[in-house]
Structure 1
Amino acid sequence: MNLFANPSARKILLSGQVQGVGFRPFIYRLAIAHKLVGWVRNSLGIVEIQVQGQSQNLENFLADIFAKKPPLAKPKLESNQQVELAKFDTFTILPSLAQGEAQISVPVDLFLCDDCLAELNNPLDRRYHYPFINCTQCGPRYTLIRRLPYDRPNTSMATFTLCPSCLAEYQDPGNRRFHAEPVACPVCGPSLTFRMNDTVKNDNHASNALDALRHGKVVAVKGIGGYHLMCDATNSEAISRLRRNKPRPHKPLAVMFPAPLDKPYAEVSLSENDKAFLLQAARPILLVAKSENSELSEQIAPGLNEVGVMLPYSPLHHLLLNEFGGPLVATSANISGEPVLIDNQEIEKRLIYMADAFLHHNRPIERPADDPVYRTIAGKPRPIRIGRGSAPMELSLPFELKQPVLAVGAQMKNVITLAWKNRAVISPHIGEMGTVRSLDVFENTIKDFYKLYEVKAELIICDAHPGYTTTRWAHKQNLPVHPVYHHHAHASAAYYECETNETVIVFTWDGVGYGEDGKLWGGETFLGQPGKWQRVASMRPFKLPGGDKAGREPWRSAAALCWELGLACPVVPAGTKLLHSAWQQQINAPMTTSVGRLFDAAAALTGVCSQASFEGQGPMYLEACCKEAGEMVELPLTLNNEGLWVSDWAPLVQRLLDSAYTQTAQASMIHISMANLIAKQAKCIRKQENVNKVALSGGVFQNRVLTEIAVAMLEQAGFIVTIPAKIPVNDAGISFGQVIEFGFKGR
């Protein structure tokens, strides 16, 4: 090809999400369309382009990179420099380059695109009903990458040799499967295996699984980031058996519905916004209201009026759900609290009593990625858990770090954050850090991040609580350790989403976290900015009998409040005289200001929940009881000698002990009273400090009723309110908050 008159040449570097999304073939087609010559290649997280031709064509080419980019690509222009002309006859795609300075963004796992879905359902297509169909716009990424650059030999697909047909597609720049690294077909790709009663059936494995599901069996199904335990979502007996064997007696189970969304299901109430959110690339779980005439089993979310809904995101899911013709329970296949299981042999060994059958495949999963979960609060879906499809999540920092750091998060809902320069990468959900497997996955996630991003931490940030598994782990490493107080991390994470440089009031209400005074905080309000938070408000402290046991036994929190007031507690089990004596002497009865435990106490005193099988069960049930307008109880707010605004919960207890009120009235009362307290505290602080911005953080603000009433009251009073929407308000946001707190403190 002859160069045009007055040609010029450019060297363009693009970072961001440009690998694993079909970016190179897109650049190839774009260059050809603009009559340009040169080349494109992957480097370590960067796409390099050398391109030349007529100047106007070059300008149009660069503009179209961003205007017409693949749907899942997020390119960032690193540089655009004029270079000397070279001799090119055409535009080509060069082999990847595994050297240079790493600017890596690891691609997340993707849902099944519409083009592949159409082929999956086309009887004339060679991939008809093939459960591993994919292209550059869909399929697994993060869970099968072994190292970067993202090329097939560097993935768990390396052992599957491409057949001639797949190889031709893989090598054709004009084909949408050009360098789709997981590309496969029934001839050369992964396959299914169905096992039941220790027998492997060699016929149609997906059909065998469907037969088992139709007969009320629980089937462990291997997906993209791990296994699901699946059963008929309308079969109460099957779900009860699953709950009994897991054991998971009460915690809600997610439900997967067949696509498309316009199918007339009566089980849940979906707004147009809900539908759009469920259809996003991550295919998340969204908590939505159950319909009055729903045929979903009450065993899916007992005691609650919401259910977690998601759509199929892998071809295998589509095949199962479409043929089944109705919703299936799809809950993480794990031991409660642990990360989801990913290994074929391990799951049969560890979950043999939970599943009646197993639908395996032989594509290895390199690392687990649980499903992300969201709840709509104050008009916007907000994350409860990030995971497959949404993580690793990369965020830009408002500062430049002097050295790479690793933030190891909290004990509950653990995720880690690796940060360097002005970048932070948040891991998928790991889980509760109380088991050997959780610690193994935690350590493997750190090793994976170091390897994938080619960055190794030079300092570790941990929670200030000396008993956390993550804190103890941090101090065993041969690196400097910087502790951050739990609620400072909550406040800093919320501040990040305020997108301001001004002073902010942040309410950090949760279960418990280690405070600056050595007590268990959980009802704190801060003023300031990351690195210089001032605690300006709190709750009246109380002694918590049994310490950590109170998280699963709400009656203990109820007893604490009653005993503090010199009252008998009507929900204390028999035989607790010694407990009361220990509480009086403050033996295993730490002081706390926890609002989460206040809601636990209210759940117990109203008769909603005295014994919990999972953390937060009592408050969740209490929120579900809010079905009528409640009377507001005014809570005293006084300024103590240290200049701290302290709220007294005593009037709430008096009201909760009054049997003249219904359970639903009591539930509504505590929500509106606590929301009013937030507005009351904010007004007092504003009067002193002239601050008009408020942020909410901490697990308590997963409660939609409380949060929405509080936001309405604050906005009516003229405050600007922020609730995080990128990262969870619960402890899954702690590791990122630790980075923000550390970064600002070091400035």
Structure 2
Amino acid sequence: MSAKQKLYWHIEINGIVQGVGFRPFVYRIARQMNLPGTVRNNSAGVEIQVCGSNDDINVFCERIRTEAPRVSRIETLTATITAPCNLPESFTIDASHGTAPPLTSISPDLAICHECLQEMFDPRNRRYLYPFITCTHCGPRYTIMANIPYDRPNTSMAAFAMCDDCRQEYTDPVDRRYHAQPVSCFHCGPTLRVLNQQSQCLATQTDAVRLAAREILQGNVIAVKGLGGFHLLCDATNHRAVESLRERKHRYGKPLAVMFRDREHLLSYSPCDETALQLLESHRAPIVLLERLPHSRHRPLSELVAPGVPTLGVFLAYTPLHRLLLHLVNRPVVATSANISDEPIITNVHDLYARLSGGFAFALDHDRPILNGCDDSVMTFAGTRPLMLRSGRGYAPVSFPLEHSFRQHVLATGPQQKVTIALGIEDQLVVSPHIGDLESPESLQFFSETRKTLCRLYQSEPERLQHDLHPRYMTTQWALQQGVHCHGVQHHHAHALAVMMEHGLHEPALAFVWDGTGYGTDNTLWGAETLLLHGASCERLYTIHPLRLLGGEAAVREPRRIALACLLQMYGPDALRTCRHHPALRSYSDAELQILLSAWQKGVNAPLSTSVGRLFDAVASLCGICQKADYEGQTGLLLEALFDPSVPYPPLVSLPAAGHRIDYRELFNYILLGSDVRQSVSVFFRALVHTIEQISQQHPQLPVICTGGVFQNRVLVKLLDEYFQCSGQRLYMPVVLPPNDASIAAGQAYAALLSS
């Protein structure tokens, strides 16, 4: 066959290729190369019918791969020769079609692009100061989708009929807004409005933005409707305003995120390297935890923004509305989800007034419905390694292409906290955005809505449900009530399988899964697991000596209870006398200590736990740093801030000669007797790393997996990276998925694939 012979080709492209300007991109390349044919969306992604020689099509496909829009993601591209067919002489874009179950990846919502930003602040542009400006490179996607393909009738923009000018852009293949589904302008798009506490409209459109900015500068808390839900905003430099926001949200200690107008504004408050800046300015635009400057040339941030920690969660104004607002305010603002702490984000103004009445002075609302709620994503850096802490806007839903296909549709329900759900369909594993902790009726409703959304978008009727082993988890109970084949997956095994899935690991591996809690196969609480993985099965190699959680869940909120259990384990009942002066015990009355001693001795409301997360709590209490925690993970953040890399490590932890329980009592005795808090904290971190080093050296041929909520700690991960870079042994950690429980559903779903 001659390389110049004209042939007919069918090209299938899967991935994030809908709603990102992919068809116009293909159209432009085909026109440049004078190739006749068509391109259209289908249920699997994008399909191309084209005529050209072998050489031409090779170049065509290579250009598609290398020049694709930055917000797209090509997972597969296949080109096959087909029988001759009727093609238009010039390349065209055809209407979408497809009735088969959708297999294309759904595009997450995208931050405002540079081109739209320039147009929005250009007085000569017809969208000057337009708060809903968008194009194929930016704007809402998942949050406005009712179904796929991603076409306007399948979105919440269906109710807004385009004006002639917008339609001209929408139908011009060389325009940046060609088939940009949310395209609109002042004449035909959504209406912005400011509402007072009585739901009365005070101003609309540009006047609404000005009024909202004025209220922020006057110290008020306002609710602002963003891409995936409402935020509560206030002046981050106004101490009283931040205090008021915390009271209204019932969030008294946990750090709050701060939104900045742009990079120049941010750099005056926080040192930020180019890598972090690029992430903040990317189309994903997550919240990123950064170090903060002790002083700023501008008004200082309120100490109530992030009390007691050296880091600051920052993000840049990522929607046109936020950018307009911060342009007028010209100060950093606290921007946090509009909800009561730990409840789902609120997506409509009716729920805002019903669930958060009195939580804000004014609401900046609009009439483009949010169909699918989605929280902001949160990331941090451990040295140079990026760590995902919460996957939401900009990142999720996320689809992982797999080498093998599921034999049946699988839905994984996740754990109880930091819940996501996962769908296994064909050769894809799809993970939802962050849902949260299932502790309220509202969170259970959001779990149900997200499940229905994912199944609707992928036209999936799950035939198998995967769930956690914990019998009291709401996700487990829901799965067992559905009348569908169910299978339980051990919590820490699921953690490790998620990493294997993400990295495409198929060989045996050594996994360290350290977190706060997870139900074990022996019906106790695990969280310090070293697992030897063999595909769908695993073997528990090591854990730690168990501690009793005095008071059950109360112990998770009070590190002093963990410290007391630790002291009782080391010294027995005599600890109440010999350690009475210790900060962990001083806050208790003698009567309270006797009650806790009785609980420890009898095991009443004092379940056993092997958890590294609880070790962090014990150290924080023993060092006098924290006796009662205001929020989950607080002790880890506080210990992070006290680490001193110059402190040497006196080996205090050794592996057991027999059995599988690692004993940390010598380490805790060292901490108890020490007088230098920084030294004690630093030795604790070194001891954790030393444990991993010792066990890994026993299995030098195996890749090492580190996952679980403990591996969100920046100090720990940085020390591990330094060790494994020197040892040469391969280290794998979550990249797209968080190391915390948000990855459990992915591991549960992957277990179904491996077992089949």
Change (3 A) 1:478 1:59: same
Deviation at 1:633, TM superposition (A): 4.9
* Corresponding position of 2:178: 178
Q: 1:299 aligns with which of 293, 301, 304?
A: 304
Give distance in 1, aligned partners of 2:492 and 2:436. 20
**8 Å Cα contact 1:288/1:308 also seen in 2:** yes
Which amino acid in structure 2 is aligned with residue 320 of structure 1? L
SS at match of 1:184: coil
Are 1:80 and 2:80 matched, yes or no? yes
SS at match of 1:611: coil
Which amino acid in structure 2 is aligned with residue 743 of structure 1? L
SS at match of 2:692: helix
* Corresponding position of 1:625: 642
Are 1:285 and 2:287 matched, yes or no? yes
* Corresponding position of 1:670: 684
**8 Å Cα contact 2:402/2:427 also seen in 1:** yes
SS at match of 2:387: strand
**8 Å Cα contact 1:630/1:666 also seen in 2:** no
Deviation at 1:360, TM superposition (A): 0.6
* Corresponding position of 2:613: 596
* Corresponding position of 1:148: 148
Give distance in 2, aligned partners of 1:548 and 1:489. 23
Which amino acid in structure 1 is aligned with residue 209 of structure 2? A
**8 Å Cα contact 1:289/1:307 also seen in 2:** yes
Are 1:227 and 2:230 matched, yes or no? yes
* Corresponding position of 2:384: 379
Which segments of structure 1 move beyond 6 Å, counting only runs of 4 or more? Answer: none
Give runs of aligned pairs for residues 117-266 of structure 1, distance below 5 A.
117-198=117-198, 199-202=200-203, 204-259=207-262, 261-262=263-264, 265-266=267-268
Give distance in 2, aligned partners of 1:152 and 1:485. 42
Q: TM-score, normalised by structure 1?
A: 0.94
**8 Å Cα contact 1:628/1:664 also seen in 2:** no
* Corresponding position of 2:418: 413
* Corresponding position of 2:541: 536
**8 Å Cα contact 1:416/1:735 also seen in 2:** yes
**8 Å Cα contact 1:494/1:506 also seen in 2:** no
Give runs of aligned pairs for residues 98-109 of structure 1, distance below 5 A.
98-100=98-100, 102-109=102-109
* Corresponding position of 2:68: 69
Structure 1 window deviating more from structure 2 (473-482 vs 395-404): it is 395-404
Give distance in 2, aligned partners of 1:543 and 1:88. 74
Give distance in 1, aligned partners of 2:554 and 2:681. 23
Change (3 A) 1:85 1:232: same
**8 Å Cα contact 1:8/1:55 also seen in 2:** yes
Query: Alignment length, in residue pairs?
Result: 734
Are 1:581 and 2:584 matched, yes or no? no
After superposition, the CA RMSD in angstroms is 2.0
Q: 1:721 aligns with which of 731, 734, 755?
A: 731
SS at match of 1:657: helix
* Corresponding position of 1:607: 624
* Corresponding position of 1:657: 672
* Corresponding position of 1:700: 710
Give distance in 1, aligned partners of 2:84 and 2:291. 62
**8 Å Cα contact 2:655/2:694 also seen in 1:** no
Change (3 A) 1:291 1:79: same
**8 Å Cα contact 2:143/2:372 also seen in 1:** yes
Deviation at 1:587, TM superposition (A): 0.8
Structure 1: runs of 5+ lacking an equivalent: none
Deviation at 1:583, TM superposition (A): 2.1
SS at match of 1:143: helix
Structure 1 window deviating more from structure 2 (96-105 vs 362-371): it is 96-105
SS at match of 1:733: helix
Q: Deviations over 1:357-416 (max 9, x none)?
A: 211111100011111111112421110110011001111234332212111111110001
Give distance in 2, aligned partners of 1:705 and 1:53. 55
Q: Deviations over 1:687-727 (max 9, x none)?
A: xxx53432211111111112222333444444332222221
Which amino acid in structure 1 is aligned with residue 9 of structure 2? R
Give distance in 2, aligned partners of 1:638 and 1:51. 64
Change (3 A) 1:590 1:101: closer
Give distance in 2, aligned partners of 1:654 and 1:422. 52
SS at match of 2:417: coil
Give distance in 2, aligned partners of 1:24 and 1:715. 43
Q: Deviations over 1:476-510 (max 9, x none)?
A: 11111110111111122233355443332211111
Give distance in 2, aligned partners of 1:515 and 1:55. 57
Give runs of aligned pairs for residues 518-533 of structure 1, distance below 5 A.
518-533=523-538
Change (3 A) 1:160 1:652: same
Deviation at 1:628, TM superposition (A): 6.5
Deviation at 1:352, TM superposition (A): 2.1
Give distance in 1, aligned partners of 2:87 and 2:730. 59
Deviation at 1:344, TM superposition (A): 1.0
Which amino acid in structure 1 is aligned with residue 273 of structure 2? S
Q: Deviations over 1:542-568 (max 9, x none)?
A: 221112222111111111111112222
Q: Percent identity?
A: 39
Are 1:648 and 2:650 matched, yes or no? no
Give distance in 2, aligned partners of 1:264 and 1:484. 44
Which amino acid in structure 2 is aligned with residue 326 of structure 1? R
Give distance in 1, aligned partners of 2:522 and 2:20. 49
Change (3 A) 1:657 1:639: closer
SS at match of 2:49: strand
* Corresponding position of 1:426: 431
**8 Å Cα contact 1:246/1:354 also seen in 2:** yes
